[in-house]
């Protein structure tokens, strides 16, 4: 049965209430609270039961046929929500807004929040990654992008000029899981994000007009960015329906502030996850993340994805990393303190939004306890940013929250003794009454002589006196016992005195729970006043945590401080790939990467599996490490500050869009060529291999010439087209290098050492042999190769303007014999018969030639 097919006039009042709420949240699965369960109905029930493997049942709703229904316990809903969110659905949590015990008729219900991929604020999200929600505002001539992490309060915005491809690249590069777009946007962008990148996209034109949140954008002058932010804020606030004043003033992102690279470079270099398994382990982030706090890990990840271009700031980080390595005792003390600091950013978010518990406040207290020590250490390091220590907040939490408080804030046992007189008095009454119950059990046993009599309690009947069946005959009328419940093996009684004490105990406990909840919320309100200061301190701790990680990693793996140069000299001596070095079992072979002021292009040749791709990757990774402020895996390093990195490493068809390897190669090459500047770094690995040999070789040469003559960017270009190595003669800024290999007794040994000059052999068949292809197949391939090599005429002439110049014999014009005959005769001097005879002979010659 579908919701749209139902006659609503026949529905029960509760189901009518559900239908009205569902009408407002058509695109969400409604978790509808009924007592101790969340129930789903109609299409939501059918969908949810299938995804979550729940039993699909039915519910009477005033109709002849039961409506589809499934349900989950309200206390265990989080894991079910997680699974639905991960699969791209939205979940609207609909709660009872009134206590059913105190309400006559229908209990009020409404949605208290909508949970989506990008708006989660609970503790189940990845602690080491930001969870951004973004929006795109299409202005027809440019795009506004803003994004926020609701769990930490960070808000950013930028403008993107150019075609729609550029805005899609920006969204994908940042890994946004959910995107809001305005209603006039090009629908191809929406379809691309949904289909090709599995991003949850919502279309809405609404903008926030609530002045309570204008502090987020009040210092921004560009009206386009303000409009973009307000568009995102409306969706966030409408979705979360709570206090979000922990959202911070928006930071404007300018592309010139950071080293730019696209999602392909991020993937190819395996910066935050590996290409094969898409896991954090064995990525650059995995290697560098020796952070002690979740905040530090998030800060590090963002820094890796957004390296700096500000030389002054980069050098400041170098100084601090160097100082932390020198002052290793202070660094060890810092590490110990950071180890006890919880996720301040997200704790503060939960304080503001209101979804915190006593455990959160205990984590906040334990974190604040470390701040005075950290402050002293930072002063010793002459760190240029100061943190607050929040002694008054720590003191409040120390005096109030019980160390063994439960997760729930609705069950009491939250507040320490001595904080509130009324609460202490109520606890004494409750405690005294409970003592009375124990004393009563002892007295009644003595008074009645019933040895197994006991006083018990349950939520249904309250306090009772229980007597076994075998001793019920000992209960006399004068005892004043009133039978309350008969069970198989016992009888339960109450007395006026017991009932009176029950009212006192239960009344006190109810008041205790109510008062403790109120006091807890009052404490939360006090802490809310410190939110902005706590966020600033959290950001400083994040940075120092990242820098201590750089220091530890640099000491452990023998990284060195780079020298930043103003000229275009790139000189990495004995450079290593930092991740490969730690993962591989054999000793890593370091290599020099040198491109001085007279060299812009390294043309890299050498056999497969010799290490050309690794050689190129380690250059880019070293540059990124240097520009995030970390020391680098070299014996010495001199480098300029790069503005952009472009890579084309590895081949993979884009099956979704139906584009071939070669098309992707050409698109990425075009992107690099059109966007690169002389301050960029370009890495092209075997560009042109996706098409026919001569086509690929011609394109490779043309691209190299274009980069050399027009862009002048530092470029590493690996190739199997050995004919290209002759370009060194004509392209003055190009140098040949090769990864060496040794051939012994028909076997190839990879030396993994990069040397000057070129090679002219690929060892492809040797590599196939190493891959354990059948011996007969290898021998046959060798025979075929010999045939091709004998047929091939080596071309020694190779210039910038043509790929292959023909030999003198090949360039000599060959005259056709028929043409020679035609040259010898004059048709005007021939009789008709002679002309006919001559034509017959020509036709015979042509036939013979065929």
- Residue of 133, 193, 173 lying closest to 260 (CA atoms): 173
What per-residue confidence (pLDDT) applies to 760? Answer: 57
First to last CA, the chain: 78
What per-residue confidence (pLDDT) applies to 790? Answer: 64
Q: Tell me how crowded residue 407 is: count the other CB atoms within 10 A of its CB.
A: 9
Residue 797 scores a pLDDT above 50: no
Residue 73 scores a pLDDT above 80: yes
What per-residue confidence (pLDDT) applies to 546? Answer: 98
Q: Specify whether the CB–CB gap between 143 and 136 falls below 8 A.
A: yes
CB proximity list for 227: less than 8 A, separation 6 or greater: 137, 144, 207
Residue 574 scores a pLDDT above 80: yes
Which strands form 601-605's sheet, in the order they lie side by side? Answer: 645-648, 681-685, 714-718, 601-605, 734-744, 747-756
pTM of structure: 0.84
- The stretch 326-349 carries a mean pLDDT of 96
Residue 277 scores a pLDDT above 90: no
- Cα 667 to chain centroid, rounded: 25
CA-CA distance, 191 to 208, in Å (whole number)? 26
What per-residue confidence (pLDDT) applies to 808? Answer: 46
CA-CA distance, 69 to 73, in Å (whole number)? 14
CA-CA distance, 122 to 799, in Å (whole number)? 64
Q: Specify whether the CB–CB gap between 216 and 222 falls below 8 A.
A: no
Residue 16 scores a pLDDT above 90: yes
- The stretch 808-822 carries a mean pLDDT of 61
What value does the mean pLDDT of the chain take? 88
What per-residue confidence (pLDDT) applies to 429? Answer: 81
Q: Specify whether the CB–CB gap between 680 and 713 falls below 8 A.
A: yes
Residue 470 scores a pLDDT above 80: yes
CB proximity list for 406: less than 8 A, separation 6 or greater: 358, 413, 414
Is beta strand 37-41 parallel, antiparallel or unpaired with respect to 570-575? unpaired
Residue 678 scores a pLDDT above 80: yes
What per-residue confidence (pLDDT) applies to 654? Answer: 46
Query: In terms of C-beta density within 10 A (0-12 exposed, 13-18 middle, 19 or more buried), how is residue 849 classed?
Result: exposed
**What is the token pair recorded at 449?**
């002589």
Q: How confident is the model at residue 742 (pLDDT cuts 50, 70, 90)?
A: confident
* 820 or 760, which is more confident: 820
Strands (E), 5-101: 28-34, 37-41, 57-59, 67-73, 90-96
Q: How confident is the model at residue 823 (pLDDT cuts 50, 70, 90)?
A: confident
What per-residue confidence (pLDDT) applies to 804? Answer: 43
Longest Cα separation, the chain: 158
- The stretch 523-538 carries a mean pLDDT of 97
Residue 807 scores a pLDDT above 90: no
Bridge partners of 28, per DSSP, are 90
- The stretch 330-341 carries a mean pLDDT of 97
Question: Positive or negative, the Cα torsion across 183, 184, 189, 195?
Answer: positive
DSSP-assigned letters across all residues of 516-573: HHHHHHHHHHHHHTTHHHHHHHHHHHHHHHHHHHHHHHHHHHT-B--EE-SSS-EEEE
CB proximity list for 632: less than 8 A, separation 6 or greater: 559, 560, 562, 572, 575, 622, 625, 626
Bridge partners of 605, per DSSP, are 738
**What is the token pair recorded at 81?**
């929500």
Q: 294-305 and 531-557 are packed helices; what angle lies between their axes, rounded to 10 degrees?
A: 70
Q: What tens digit of pLDDT does each residue of 132-147 get?
A: 999 999 999 999 999 9
CB proximity list for 30: less than 8 A, separation 6 or greater: 18, 21, 22, 40, 41, 44, 92, 94, 111
What per-residue confidence (pLDDT) applies to 501? Answer: 82
* 508 or 421, which is more confident: 421
Which strands form 178-181's sheet, in the order they lie side by side? Answer: 200-203, 178-181, 132-138, 142-149, 154-161, 251-252
What per-residue confidence (pLDDT) applies to 648? Answer: 87
Residue 293 scores a pLDDT above 60: yes
- The stretch 162-181 carries a mean pLDDT of 92
**What is the token pair recorded at 12?**
């029960």
- The stretch 767-794 carries a mean pLDDT of 64
CA-CA distance, 396 to 432, in Å (whole number)? 28
- The stretch 602-617 carries a mean pLDDT of 88
CA-CA distance, 668 to 670, in Å (whole number)? 5
């Amino acid at each position: 049965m579908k919701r749209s097919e139902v006659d609503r006039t026949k529905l029960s009042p509760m189901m009518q209430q559900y239908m009205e709420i569902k009408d407002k949240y058509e695109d969400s699965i409604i978790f509808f609270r009924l007592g101790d369960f969340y129930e789903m109905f109609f299409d939501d029930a059918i969908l949810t039961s299938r995804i979550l493997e729940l039993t699909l049942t039915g519910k009477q709703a005033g109709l002849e046929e039961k409506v589809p229904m499934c349900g989950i316990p309200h206390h265990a809903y989080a894991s079910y929500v997680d699974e639905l969110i991960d699969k791209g659905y939205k979940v609207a949590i609909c709660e009872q807004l009134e206590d059913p015990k105190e309400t006559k008729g229908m209990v009020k219900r409404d949605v208290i929040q909508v949970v989506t991929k990008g708006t989660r604020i609970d503790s189940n999200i990845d602690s080491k990654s930001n969870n951004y929600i973004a929006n795109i505002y299409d202005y027809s001539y440019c795009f506004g992008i803003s994004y926020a992490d609701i769990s930490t309060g960070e808000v950013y915005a930028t403008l993107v000029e150019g075609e729609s491809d550029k805005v899609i690249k920006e969204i994908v590069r940042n890994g946004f899981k959910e995107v809001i777009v305005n209603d006039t946007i090009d629908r191809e962008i929406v379809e691309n994000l949904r289909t090709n990148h599995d991003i949850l996209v919502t279309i809405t034109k609404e903008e926030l007009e609530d002045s309570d949140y204008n502090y987020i954008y009040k210092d921004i002058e560009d009206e386009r960015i303000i409009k973009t932010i307000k568009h995102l804020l409306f969706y966030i606030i409408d979705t979360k329906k709570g206090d979000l004043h922990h959202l911070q003033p928006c930071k404007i992102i300018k592309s010139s502030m950071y080293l730019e690279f696209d999602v392909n470079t991020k993937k190819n270099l395996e910066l935050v996850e590996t290409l094969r398994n898409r896991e954090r382990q064995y990525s650059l982030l995995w290697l560098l993340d020796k952070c002690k706090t979740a905040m530090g890990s998030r800060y590090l990840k963002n820094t890796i994805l957004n390296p700096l271009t500000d030389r002054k700031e980069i050098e400041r980080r170098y100084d601090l990393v160097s100082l932390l390595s020198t002052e290793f005792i202070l660094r060890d003390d810092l590490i110990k303190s950071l180890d006890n600091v919880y996720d301040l950013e997200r704790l503060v978010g939960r304080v503001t939004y209101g979804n915190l518990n006593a455990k959160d406040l205990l984590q906040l207290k334990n974190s604040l306890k470390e701040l005075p020590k950290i402050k002293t250490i930072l002063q010793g390091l002459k760190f240029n940013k100061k943190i607050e220590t929040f002694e008054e907040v720590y003191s409040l939490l120390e005096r109030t929250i019980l160390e063994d408080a439960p997760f729930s804030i609705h069950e009491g046992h939250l507040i320490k003794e001595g904080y509130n007189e009324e609460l202490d008095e109520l606890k004494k009454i409750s405690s005294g009454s409970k003592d009375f119950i124990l004393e009563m059990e002892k007295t009644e046993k003595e008074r009645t002589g019933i040895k197994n009599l006991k006083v018990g309690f349950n939520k249904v009947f309250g306090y009772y006196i229980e007597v076994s069946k075998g001793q019920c005959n000992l209960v006399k009328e004068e005892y004043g016992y009133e039978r309350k419940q008969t069970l198989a093996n016992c009888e339960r009684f109450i007395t006026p005195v017991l009932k009176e004490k029950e009212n006192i105990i239960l009344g006190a406990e109810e008041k205790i729970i109510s008062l403790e909840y109120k006091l807890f919320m009052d404490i939360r309100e006090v802490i809310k006043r410190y939110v902005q200061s706590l966020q600033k301190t959290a950001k400083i701790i994040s940075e120092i945590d990242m820098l201590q990680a750089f220091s530890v990693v640099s000491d452990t793996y023998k990284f060195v401080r780079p020298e930043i140069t103003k000229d275009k000299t790139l000189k990495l001596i004995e450079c290593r790939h930092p991740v490969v070095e730690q993962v591989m079992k054999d000793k890593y072979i370091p290599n020099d990467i040198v491109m001085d002021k007279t060299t812009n292009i390294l043309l890299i040749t050498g056999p497969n599996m010799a290490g050309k791709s690794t050689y190129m990757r380690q250059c880019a990774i070293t540059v990124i490490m240097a520009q995030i402020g970390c020391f680098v895996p070299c014996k010495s390093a001199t480098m300029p500050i790069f503005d952009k990195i472009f890579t084309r490493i590895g081949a993979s068809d884009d099956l979704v869009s139906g584009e071939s390897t070669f098309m992707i190669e050409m698109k990425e090459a075009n992107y690099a060529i059109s966007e690169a500047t002389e301050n960029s770094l370009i890495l092209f690995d075997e560009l042109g291999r996706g098409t026919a040999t001569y086509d690929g070789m011609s394109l490779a040469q043309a691209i190299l010439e274009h980069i050399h003559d027009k862009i002048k960017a530092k470029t590493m270009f690996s190739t199997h087209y050995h004919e290209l190595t002759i370009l060194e003669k004509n392209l003055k800024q190009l140098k040949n290098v090769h990864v060496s290999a040794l051939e012994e007794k028909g076997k190839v040994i990879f030396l993994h050492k990069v040397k000057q000059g070129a090679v002219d052999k690929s060892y492809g068949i040797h590599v196939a042999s190493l891959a354990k292809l059948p011996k007969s197949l290898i021998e046959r391939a060798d025979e075929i190769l010999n045939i091709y090599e004998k047929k091939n005429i080596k071309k020694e002439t190779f210039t910038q303007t043509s790929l292959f110049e023909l030999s003198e014999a090949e360039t000599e014009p060959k005259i056709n014999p028929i043409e020679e005959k035609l040259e010898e005769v004059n048709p005007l001097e021939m009789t008709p018969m002679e002309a006919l005879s001559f034509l017959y002979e020509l036709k015979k010659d042509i036939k013979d030639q065929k």
